[in-house]
Amino acid sequence: MKNVRTRFAPSPTGYMHIGNLRTALYAYLVAKKEKDGVFMLRIEDTDQNRQVEGAVDIIYETLKTCKLTHDEGPDVGGKYGPYVQSDRVKAGIYKKYALEMVEKSKAHFCFCKEEDIAAQREIASAKGISFIYDDPCKLLKKEEIDLKLQNNEPYVIRQNIDKIGTTDFVDEVYGTISVDNSTLDEMVLLKSDGFPTYNFANVIDDHLMEITHVVRGNEYLSSTPKYNLIYEAFGWEKPKYIHCPPVMKDETHKLSKRNGDASFQDLVSKGYLPEAILNYIALLGWSPQGEEEIFSLTELCEKFDIKRIGTSGSIFDINKLTWLNGVYIRNMDFDKYYELVLPYIKNVVTKNYDFVQIAKILKDRINIFSEINEAIDFIEELKDYDNSLFINSKMKTDKDSSILALEKSLELFESLNDNEFNYEFLHDKLLSLPTIIGIKNGQLLYPLRVALSGKAFTPGGSIEISSILKKEESIKRIKYAINKLKS
């Protein structure tokens, strides 16, 4: 059997959104599941009007950060190049095949004006009739065509489709799709600017590049018969088709880059980990065999199975991604985590505190890095808070008990050296204090946390916080709280 070869063939028209990335992932997995599978990148830039500056770089960058390494592509080369379609246009590839189609009577020259066809389409749709263009140019005699060509009349090359019978194919995901040929319209293969349409270029390149499995969104499901007719015209072997269900934003709308946050880049900048994003989107539209859901890319390669791709659209659930991201953070090796988290911490804390300690109290408590800001902003600066925070029925604290707790804590802190402000030592001292005074742990530690942080909830408790703030700052905040309570 031939080596499996798949491609990711985006058009460089802007951001990379999650649906796109998932298609790339699946194409990668289909290839890499096999020992010698090849995953390649091809840039489909046949629409000269839609080019977006820097879009190709975003594609490279995204694939790189996701570690979806392509074996062949514009930047890494390969035997089947060039890998950018506009370069292939220059090499005359598409025109040659388009002309061959004409020769085989599977396509014809068309000199019709675009506006005329559009007008007809308009009329038909106003009448509610389905429109399939019946091209008069098909009837042109050879001499007439030659004359028009000599006069440099603009033309396109349009596919010929016999309106009789049906065309069907087997999709690996959706099963047998059967379409009546009379409903197929004869699409343009080569545009008047000499560029091929996506429809044509895609087929030519997939064949020339020996793609064995075509992985793409299911919006191509209904036009696949037309592509197959091209394969048949040349007598080429058709690839296996793997059409993927859409990724939705809600029940009725596909995910689009229109409304922002669905792009890969957005998610990364919100503090999501590429590995977690990839893991999550793998689960949208595909389900693993067992109950395990956490997979590295390598594991995905092993587990992935085309047969388990679903057929209905799935709604992108940021909730679950967030949870999954938290799992990745919690499972991460501390050094790696620290390296990633440090910039976020430094973004909030500019004073010289123990960043390792801060990172530690955060690790089990955040799902995404962007939560850090709010979680530890009190370290840098105590914001004013209300005395009512000290009163907590569950903790059995009120104004007087809080004052007592704070005064005792203050006494203790003042008796310590600054270098005794470490977690172990403070843990010993602070936890033995309630017994001595004859109160419950919470009655001491809760008011202390409020005083140190100005918040009722914080990552870590008062022991952790005081060990981070150290002697001087802790005492300052306790004194402030006592004054506040007494005034």
Partner RNA sequence: GGCUCGUUGGUGAAACGGUUAACACACCGCCCUUUCACGGCGGCAUUCAUGGGUUCGAACCCCAUACGAGUCACCA
| Min separation Cβ 150 and RNA, Å | 18
- 106, 226, 249, 257: the catalytic one is 257
Examine the residue annotation and report whether 257 is marked as an active-site residue of this protein. yes
Smallest separation, CB 122 to RNA (Å):
11
How far is Cα of residue 434 from the mean position of the Cα atoms in its chain?
51
Q: What tokens does 33 get?
A: 């599941």
Bond prior to 246 in cis (omega within 30° of 0) = no
For the chain, count helices (H), then strands (E).
19, 11
Which two three-digit tokens encode residue 382? 């105590």
Helix, strand, coil percent values for the chain (each to nearest 5): 50, 10, 35
| 240-244 vs 213-217, strand pairing mode | parallel
Quick check: 153 and 111 in contact, CB under 8 A? yes
Considering the complex, state which of residue 4 and residue 173 has its C-beta at the smaller distance from RNA. 173
DSSP string over 337-363: HHHHHHHHHHHH--S---HHHHHHHHH
> Taking the complex as a whole, how short is the minimal distance between the CB of residue 14 and RNA, in angstroms?
11
| Shortest reach from residue 121's CB to RNA, in Å | 5
3-state secondary structure of 189: strand
Nearer to RNA, 35 or 251 (CB): 251
Q: Which is nearer to RNA, 36 or 123 (CB)?
A: 123
Please state, in angstroms and rounded to a whole number, the distance separating the CA atoms of residues 277 and 272: 7
- Interatomic CA distance for residues 462 and 450, integer angstroms: 8
Closest approach of RNA to the CB of residue 318, in Å: 9
Nearer to RNA, 36 or 407 (CB): 407
Smallest distance, Å, CB 222 to RNA? 4
Are the C-beta atoms of residues 38 and 5 closer than 8 Å to each other? yes
In the complex, minimum distance from the CB of residue 35 to RNA, in angstroms, rounded to a whole number: 25
**Residues contacting residue 8 through CB under 8 Å, at least 6 positions apart:** 23, 24, 27, 28, 39, 40, 41, 42, 63, 68, 70, 215
Residue 267, CA distances (Å) to 51, 143, 345, 374, 393 in order: 24, 59, 19, 18, 40
Toward RNA, which CB reaches closer, 233 or 452?
A: 452
User: Rounded to the nearest 5°, which phi and psi values hold at 478?
Assistant: -70, -45
Whole-number Å distance between alpha carbons of 457 and 467: 17
Output the six-digit token pair for 194: 């000499």
Judged by CB, which is closer to RNA: 371, or 473? 371
Residue with tokens 């990633």: 340
Q: Which is nearer to RNA, 195 or 295 (CB)?
A: 195
Catalytic residues: 257
